[in-house]
Amino acid sequence: MTDSGEQQVTADAATAASAAPAGVKLRGLFLKKVGMTSVYGDAGEMIPVTVLKMDPWVVTQLKTVEKDGYAAVQIASGPKKAVRSSKAERGHLSKAGFENGAQFVREIRQDLASDLQVGARVTIDTLAKGDVVKVTSTSKGKGFAGSVRRFGFAGGPASHGSKFHRQPGSSGNRTWPGRVMPGKRFPGHLGAETVTVNNVKVVDVLHDENVILVKGPVPGARNSLVKLVKE
């Protein structure tokens, strides 16, 4: 290709980039958990961080107080197969450019700005280095667990003959009220709960990779969806 042709291609790319929408900023973001690593801070200290990667999210609906009772921005990400998409999904998301349904449809409650419109892309610039956010995710599911593991009960003596090692112990009352009171801690399903961690600091934002580094651990397994909201 000649020099003039290369210059023309470069000019066309620059024009397309300038014409493309910059994306909208919201009060929060939804990202997928990649794992944990560590980075060095400005003072040379080592900081444990969780790596969160953001997939493309598109605004699919603007909810208003007059129509829906509250103000929120609905966003969606990830195309879904046609056989797994209902007619209602296709009709609702077609306005935002989806051919079928979406794997994830979430919403963020906030006041609606004038530049928000259906079909706009959400930018990772919503969060910046140094921001303090509230992190919400689903913790790891660990199946059925006894009271010792689930709630940290002490259990009984470990020696032989006690016949009381990791059992929950007495759970009832006397003749009155003669029943187990609500809220008594028993063996049951452990984990798989919605967990929120407050005052989490954003250590860095890697715009080229659509990655956000937050300080410390984040609830959930790898590839789980994590919600970050500015505090």
* pLDDT tens, position by position, 25-46: 999 999 999 999 999 998 999 9
- Domain assignment present for 213: yes
Burial of 72 (0-12, 13-18, 19+ CB in 10 A): buried
Is 205 contained in some domain?
yes
Residue 133 pLDDT greater than 70, yes or no: yes
For residue 124, give the CATH number of its domain.
2.40.30.10
pTM exceeds 0.85: no
Average pLDDT of the chain, as a whole number: 89
CA distances from 107 to 85, 97, 120 (A): 19, 18, 14
Range of the domain at 53: 23-143+190-230
Residue 6 has pLDDT above 80, yes or no: no
CA pair distance 153, 31, nearest whole angstrom: 35
Compute the average pLDDT of residues 76-94: 93
Give yes or no for residue 14 having a pLDDT over 70.
no
Structural domain includes residue 8: no
In a domain, 168, yes or no: no
Tally of domains in the chain:
1
**Residue 20 in this model has a pLDDT that exceeds 80:** no
Helices (H), the chain: 3-19, 65-68, 87-93, 147-151
Mind listing the pLDDT tens digit for each residue in 188-208?
999 999 999 999 999 999 999
Write down the pLDDT at residue 105.
96
| Residue 159 is assigned to a structural domain of this protein | no
65 found inside a domain? yes
CA distances 150 to 141, 143, 167, Å, are 12, 10, 12
In a domain, 184, yes or no: no
Q: Is the pLDDT at 5 greater than 70, yes or no?
A: no
Give the residue, 72 or 19, on which the prediction is more confident. Answer: 72
How sure is the predictor about 117, in pLDDT bands with cuts at 50, 70 and 90?
Answer: very high
Question: β-strands 72-79, 102-109: how paired?
Answer: antiparallel
In a domain, residue 179? The reply is: no
